[in-house]
Amino acid sequence: MSARRIFAIARRVMRQILRDHRTVGLLLVVPTVLLTLGAILFRAEPAPMSLGIANRDQPVAVPMAARPIAIGEQIAAQLAADGMFRVRDVSEGEADALLRDGSVQGVLVFAPDFSAQFVRNRKVVLDLRLEGSNPGRSAAIAARVTQAAIRALAGMAAGGSQGAEPPVTLNATYLYAGPQFDTLDFVAPVFLGFLALFFVFLLTCVSFLRERAQATMERLLATPASRAEIVLGYMGGLGLFALLQVTVILCFTIWVLKIHYLGSLALLFLVIALLAVVAVSLGILASAFARNEFQVVQFIPLVIFPQVLLGGTIWAVEEMPSYLQPFAYVVPLTYANRALRDVMLKGWRLGDIWPNLLILAAFAVVLTLLGVRTMRRDVA
C-alpha cells in the first residue's frame, strides 16, 4: 500500500474527468434540472378538471319549506365552489361527445325527478358519466362529487327536516375502460413505449459509436452504400428487436400481470414500431455528439428522463401546470404515450389515433434527416 500511488491515481482520475468539460457540466446541471422538473410536477396544484353538469332537475315544493327544494342546483353550487373543478353546463345528449374529445373529464347528470326522488326516498343517486381511461382521475372526480353532494344535503338537513345524514350513492358509468382498470393498466401501455424508446436509443447510440470507433463506418462509406441506406438498415434491424422485446413484455403483462386492455394489439405494435424508428434516429443523432460509451450513458438523463417526466408517462399532460404543458408537445414520447393509451385504454382504432402517428412520423423524418447530416463524410 502506497498512499502516494493511491493519491496519484485519484489525481489522474480527477484530471481526466475535469478535462471532459461536458461531463462536469452534466454532473452539475442535469440533476438540478431534473430535480426542478420533478419538484414542479410533484408539488404543483393540478390544473382544474372540467366537469360538465346536465341539470334537468325540477324543483319540488314542500309544504313545510319556505322555498322549493332543488337538490341538483345545490350540488352544482357546491361543485362550482370547489377549486378542483371548472364547471360548465352541458346537455345530456352531448355528454359522450364532450368526454371523447377531452373537453370535459366527467358529466354529472341530474334527472328531472332528482329532487322529487330525494323528497320521496330521503336519498340521492348521483348519475356520473366518466371518461374512464385514467383510473386515478376517475376516482378523484367520483370522490369530490360525492363529497359535494354530502355537503349540499347536509346544508339542507340543517335547514329543517331530519338529523340523520342523508345517504348518497354514486352510480358511475364509463365511456372507456371502467372500474376494473387500475393504475397499472394506466401505466402499462406507456411503459411499453418507454422501454422501446430507452433500449433502442441506447442500442443505436452504442452500435453507431462502435461503428465509428472501429472505422467500419469509414469502410462502409467507402462502398456504394449511401448514408440513407445505412440509417434505414439500422432502423430495420433495431426496430425488429424493439418489437421482439415488446412482444415478450406484452405477453408478460397480459398473462402474468393480467393487465386490462381494450384495443387491437396489431395497432399497438404499429405505434411501438414508429416509436422505435424515432428512437433509432434520435440515437444516431446523439451518437454524433458522443466520443465514448461513457458519454452515451450521459445521454440517458439528458434525452430520456425529460421525455418521461414531460411526456405524460406518470402525470397526464393536461394535469401538469399550464406553463409546463408546451414542453410536453416538443417531445416525441408525448405522442406515442397518447396513441398507446388511446389504443389500450379506449380501444381506439387507426382512424382515431392517426394524428398522433403522423406527428411521430414527422419527428422520425426530421430526426433522421438531422442524423444523416451528422454522418458527415468529412471526418477528421
Partner 1 sequence: MDVIVETSGIRKHFGPVRAVDGVDMAVRTGEIYGLLGPNGSGKTTLIRLLVGLLRPSGGSARVLGRAVPDKAILAQVGYMPQANALYEDLTVRENIAFFGEMCGGVSRHRVDELIALVDLSDRADSLVRTLSGGMRQRTSLACALVHKPRLLLLDEPTVGVDPQLRVAFWDYFRQLARDGATLIVSSHVMDEAERCDRLGFMRQGRLLAEGTASDLREKAGADTLEEAFIRFAERGLEGGQP
By CB neighbour count within 10 A (0-12 exposed, 13-18 middle, 19+ buried), where does 83 fall? Answer: exposed
CB of 243 to partner 1, least distance (A): 22
Q: Hey, what's the cell of 144?
A: 369530490
Among 228, 248, 365, 379, binds partner 1 (CB under 8 A): 379
Distances (CA, A) of 35 to 38, 300, 306: 5, 15, 11
Pick out residues in 358-377 that bind partner 1 (CB under 8 A).
377
By CB neighbour count within 10 A (0-12 exposed, 13-18 middle, 19+ buried), where does 326 fall? Answer: exposed
Among 224, 255, 266, 326, binds partner 1 (CB under 8 A): 224
List % helix, strand, coil for the chain (3-state, nearest 5): 65, 10, 25
Q: Pairing mode, if any, of strands 106-110 and 124-130?
A: antiparallel
Please give the Cα distance from 86 to 338 (Å, whole number).
23
Contact 137, 85 (CB under 8 A): no
- Closest by CA position to 347, among listed 266, 263, 260, 265: 263
Binding to partner 1 by residue 81, rule CB under 8 A?
no
Binding pattern for the stretch 173-212 against partner 1, x by CB under 8 A and - elsewhere: ----------------------------------------
Among 25, 33, 160, 218, binds partner 1 (CB under 8 A): 218
Q: Considering beta carbons, is residue 111 or 220 the nearer one to partner 1? A: 220
CB of 44 to partner 1, least distance (A): 48
Facing residues of 173 across strands?
129
Q: Considering beta carbons, is residue 3 or 222 the nearer one to partner 1? A: 222
- Specify the 3-state DSSP secondary structure of 141: helix
Binding pattern for the stretch 317-346 against partner 1, x by CB under 8 A and - elsewhere: ------------------------------
- Residue 289 CB coordination number (10 Å): 14
Please give the Cα distance from 49 to 63 (Å, whole number).
39
Among 121, 216, 247, 292, binds partner 1 (CB under 8 A): 216
CB of 230 to partner 1, least distance (A): 9
Binding to partner 1 by residue 214, rule CB under 8 A?
yes
Binding to partner 1 by residue 226, rule CB under 8 A?
yes
Among 3, 222, 256, 266, binds partner 1 (CB under 8 A): 222
- Closest by CA position to 272, among listed 243, 310, 250: 243
Binding to partner 1 by residue 223, rule CB under 8 A?
yes
Binding to partner 1 by residue 288, rule CB under 8 A?
no
Q: Considering beta carbons, is residue 227 or 341 the nearer one to partner 1? A: 227
Q: Considering beta carbons, is residue 5 or 377 the nearer one to partner 1? A: 377
CB of 48 to partner 1, least distance (A): 55
Binding to partner 1 by residue 228, rule CB under 8 A?
no
CB of 287 to partner 1, least distance (A): 17
CB of 206 to partner 1, least distance (A): 12
Binding to partner 1 by residue 116, rule CB under 8 A?
no
Question: Can you spell out the DSSP letters for 30-57?
Answer: HHHHHHHHHHHHHHSPPPPEEEEEEE-P
Binding to partner 1 by residue 380, rule CB under 8 A?
yes
Please give the Cα distance from 255 to 245 (Å, whole number).
16
Binding to partner 1 by residue 225, rule CB under 8 A?
yes
Radius of gyration of the chain (CA): 28
> Where are the extended beta strands (E) located within 134-280?
168-174
Q: Considering beta carbons, is residue 213 or 330 the nearer one to partner 1? A: 213
* Contact set with partner 1 (CB under 8 A): 214-216, 218-226, 377-380
